[in-house]
């Protein structure tokens, strides 16, 4: 069932303090997988969609499902969802949701690089805003992990 949250004062150890910081690293790692699986999945699906054209949804779908590119893209999106849900099993929603918005940045960069889409200045400005936002959210989470591990350590000392 994972570590017991809010363990009583008698059982807190320095290991709990370290685990606060280790769990942030784990969260970031899992979210990186979420972000890249999602962005790569989108590139594959988008490539496929452009290839089969747009003669209507059903025909598109019927043609798309026959190709491995479609299934590979879909599989990556499923992997992305599993990692997203897993991260939510221990991390805060108010951290995970904005952190995952970094996928928009990766999507724009991938679209520009792999799909040769032209990215406007407005979009690059948006990318800059998101990046600063994600850095602030990351910092807030790191400070929290730091503060919590410190609190645990002072309790252990006593």
Partner 1 sequence: MKTAILIAMMVLADSAGDVFLTRGMKQVGEISILNPKAFLTVGARVISNKSFLSGVFFMTVTFVSFLIVISWADLSLVFPAKSLVYVLSTLGAKFFLEETVTIQRWTGIVLVCLGVTLTSLP
Nearer to partner 1, 74 or 157 (CB): 74
The binding site for partner 1 (CB under 8 A) comprises 1-3, 30, 83, 85-86, 88-90, 92-98, 101, 104, 108, 120, 122-123, 125-141, 143-144
Q: How far is the CB of 2 from partner 1 (least distance, A)?
A: 3
Q: How far is the CB of 122 from partner 1 (least distance, A)?
A: 5
User: Structure tokens of 45?
Assistant: 């699906």
User: Structure tokens of 11?
Assistant: 């059982």
Residue 100 contacts residue 35 (beta carbons within 8 Å): yes
Nearer to partner 1, 44 or 83 (CB): 83
Q: How far is the CB of 146 from partner 1 (least distance, A)?
A: 13
- C-alpha 16/C-alpha 152 separation (Å) is 7
Nearer to partner 1, 69 or 140 (CB): 140
User: Structure tokens of 83?
Assistant: 């990692």
Nearer to partner 1, 17 or 96 (CB): 96
For 110-157, give the DSSP string: HHHHTS-----HHHHHHHHHHHHHHHHHHHHHHHHHHHHHHHHHHHHH
Q: How far is the CB of 56 from partner 1 (least distance, A)?
A: 13
């Amino acid at each position: 069932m994972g570590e017991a949250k809010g363990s009583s004062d008698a059982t807190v150890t320095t290991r709990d303090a370290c685990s606060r910081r280790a769990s942030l690293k784990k969260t970031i790692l899992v979210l990186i997988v979420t972000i890249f699986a999602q962005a790569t999945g989108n590139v594959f699906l988008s490539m496929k969609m452009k290839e089969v054209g747009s003669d209507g949804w059903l025909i598109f779908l019927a043609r798309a499902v026959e190709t491995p590119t479609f299934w590979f893209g879909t599989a990556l999106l499923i992997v992305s969802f599993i990692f997203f849900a897993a991260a939510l099993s221990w991390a805060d929603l108010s951290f995970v949701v904005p952190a995952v918005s970094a996928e928009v940045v990766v999507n724009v960069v991938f679209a520009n690089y792999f799909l040769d889409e032209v990215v406007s200045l407005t979009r690059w400005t948006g990318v800059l805003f998101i990046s600063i936002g994600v850095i602030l959210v990351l910092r807030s989470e790191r400070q929290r992990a730091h503060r919590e591990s410190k609190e645990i350590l002072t309790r252990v000392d006593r």
